[in-house]
Structure 1
Amino acid sequence: AAYPIADELIRQGVPFVFYTGYGGEIIPERFAGVKLWQKPFDPLELVEDIGRLCRR
């Protein structure tokens, strides 16, 4: 599972998103503040979100 990696990214302050074909209900509550991209995604949303993540 990707959750140990996500925990480490949070610990290190590295911004990230979850990208899944499943609904947000599969993401543990501790990641409630992490952006979720669902398949299929909008390329414009991808560009906007990456821009926001890079400004953090």
Structure 2
Amino acid sequence: MGQNTYNEMLLHAREANKSPVYIIDPKANAAEWKEKWEQRKRQESRRKERNGW
């Protein structure tokens, strides 16, 4: 998705008051995005543990 995160893209779409064109199947996209989000959160918490947070 390039440099923009999913949330930023949603925000821009909302600000422009358009439906986000890049979402073809919102349910499938949401599930996919949630999965990526969970992975990122797990990676971050692992990184923090390694760094002694």
Shorter-chain TM-score above 0.5: no
Greater Rg over alpha carbons, structure:
2
Q: Which has the larger share of helix?
A: 2
Q: Which has the larger share of strand?
A: 1
When the two structures are superposed, what TM-score results if normalisation uses the length of structure 2? 0.32
Q: Which has the higher contact order (CA 8 A, sep 6+)?
A: 1
